Amino acid sequence: MNAANQTIYALSSGGLPAGVAVIRISGSETMHVVKSLAGSVPAARHATLKTIRTRNGLALDRGLVLTFPGPASFTGEDCAEIHVHGGKAVVAALLAELATFDGCRLAEHGEFSRRALENGKMDLVEVEGLADLISAETEMQRRLAMEHAAGGLSHIYEGWAERLTRARALIEAELDFADEDDVPGSVSDMVWSDMERLRSEVSEHLAGADFGEIVRDGLRVVIAGPPNAGKSSLINALAKREVAIVTDIAGTTRDVLHVDLNIEGYAVRLYDTAGLRETDEIVEKEGIRRALRTVADADLVLSLAEIGQPAQAEFPGFNGKVIKLGTKADLPRGADGQYDLLISSTSGAGLAALHQLLVSDLRDRSSSLSLALPSRLRHRMLLTQSLDALSAAIRSDNQGLDIRAEYLRQSANSLGRITGRVDVEDLLDVIFSEFCIGK
């Protein structure tokens, strides 16, 4: 039997031991398996208490059995769930019994979701949203993932694809039936004005990709400055634990350290870097090189300097926002007002205000944006390709309609690759390998 046609099963509820373990089954043999294990097939979508037995009549456990006849199921196939006690021996015995059925095998990573995609129950963006929903750690990550998993992003792309298809149909009509009275005589009036609006919509949507990636992957905040400016003390204070070693010896931090924070529902990845200075010491020099590379990839830089010393306002390769912080505010000294904020990691002075600066920065980035945003590099690349092709069609008014229609086809093809509406087989193995076995 072809592997794609086999009935698959897996533990779907996470690590053991647990209070409850859920075994998921999907495929043409599902109902036969359920009848063999539970004695009969319960009514669809009704949890029924059953004794789960081997085919030799040995009782394995008592648990709930639910069936979901296809196509009205998660995968579009006949599905079932068996809820048993979450002991390792119970689950191992049940999985071993399932392995004895002909045409049944253990599911691979993400195979349930892959079958849902192949059977038209989900598209690729919804599948990616589901993966992000499972791994979400903050409220904003959950909300973004839910928007994708529920089809909010797909609905936008499908609407754009329909407009491109309609435009191409009108162009084809004019090319093929230009002499007919009932065919519009001016494609430009009916098509290109809408394509101009579509280009603006795609461009505006693509502009939100930076924030979508920040919500999904976290705001990259890099702490930079000279040695002994208080960088390691600050990351420890914000993380509320000892992430970095703090000493009075200049150059203690040699490598890039990071910690993940949850700030007002947003994921923030905070980086501590080596002190920036001129040095001939080979290990410290490498640390400084890594620090500058990390700064160049940052979304936001916290530039630290002891009060009385100048805080660096610009960094090589970084064009984003820099917040200048004067540190060690608990020590008596004068400040010359060159800083955005004075802080002390020892006394906690200014840390609440710094927290609010980070929150304000996140809110400024999200201003007027919904959460129907592209959140992956794959989305950004294909949207850019779609926009480029659409722009080429609009500006090529000195070329034939057939050439301009081809540009529109390329634009629609790129949109289709985002949702998986065109051939994306080369992407599927990578995407579904990120899933757990039972999903």
What is the model's pLDDT at position 287? 84
- Residues of the chain with pLDDT > 90: what percent? 64
Tens digit of each residue's pLDDT (9 = 90 or more) over 249-261? 444 455 678 889 9
Q: What is the pLDDT of residue 279?
A: 81
Determine the pLDDT at residue 428.
60
Query: Can you give the pLDDT at residue 366?
Result: 79
3 state SS for the chain = CCHHHCEEEEECCCCCCEEEEEEEEECCCHHHHHHHHHCCCCCCCCCEEEEEECCCCCEEEEEEEEEECCCCCCCCCCEEEEEEEECHHHHHHHHHHHCCCCCEEECCCCHHHHHHHHCCCCCHHHHHHHHHHHHCCCHHHHHHHHHHHCCHHHHHHHHHHHHHHHHHHHHHHHHHCCCCCCCCCCHHHHHHHHHHHHHHHHHHHHHCHHHHHHHHHCEEEEEECCCCCCHHHHHHHHHCCCCCCCCCCCCCCCCCEEEEEEECCEEEEEEECCCCCCCCCHHHHHHHHHHHHHHHCCCEEEEEEECCCCCCCCECCECCEEEEEEECCCCCCCCCCCCCEECCCCCCCCHHHHHHHHHHHHHHHHCCCCCCCCCCHHHHHHHHHHHHHHHHHHHCCCCCHHHHHHHHHHHHHHHHHHHCCCCCHHHHHHHHCCCCCCC
Query: What are the boundaries of each domain within the chain?
Result: 3-123, 126-208+374-420, 215-366
Condensed to tens digits (0 to 9), the pLDDT of residues 180-196 reads 555 445 566 678 999 99
Lowest average pLDDT, out of 34-48, 267-281, 381-395, 424-438, goes to 424-438
The 10s digit of each residue's pLDDT in 212-236 is 999 999 999 999 999 888 888 898 8
CATH 3.40.50.300, domain 215-366, yes or no: yes
Under CATH, to which class is 3-123 assigned? alpha beta
Superfamily the domain 126-208+374-420 falls into = tRNA modification GTPase MnmE domain 2 (1.20.120.430)
- Residue 11: the pLDDT is 96
- Kindly report the average pLDDT of the chain as a whole number: 87
Q: What pLDDT sits at residue 249?
A: 46
| pLDDT for res 247 | 47
The pLDDT score that the predictor gives to residue 434 is 58
Query: With bands split at pLDDT 50, 70 and 90, how would you rate the model's confidence at 423?
Result: low
Q: Of the given ranges (48-52, 108-112, 256-260, 335-339), which has the lowest mean pLDDT?
A: 335-339
Predicted confidence at residue 431, as pLDDT, reads 55
Predicted pLDDT at 257? 84
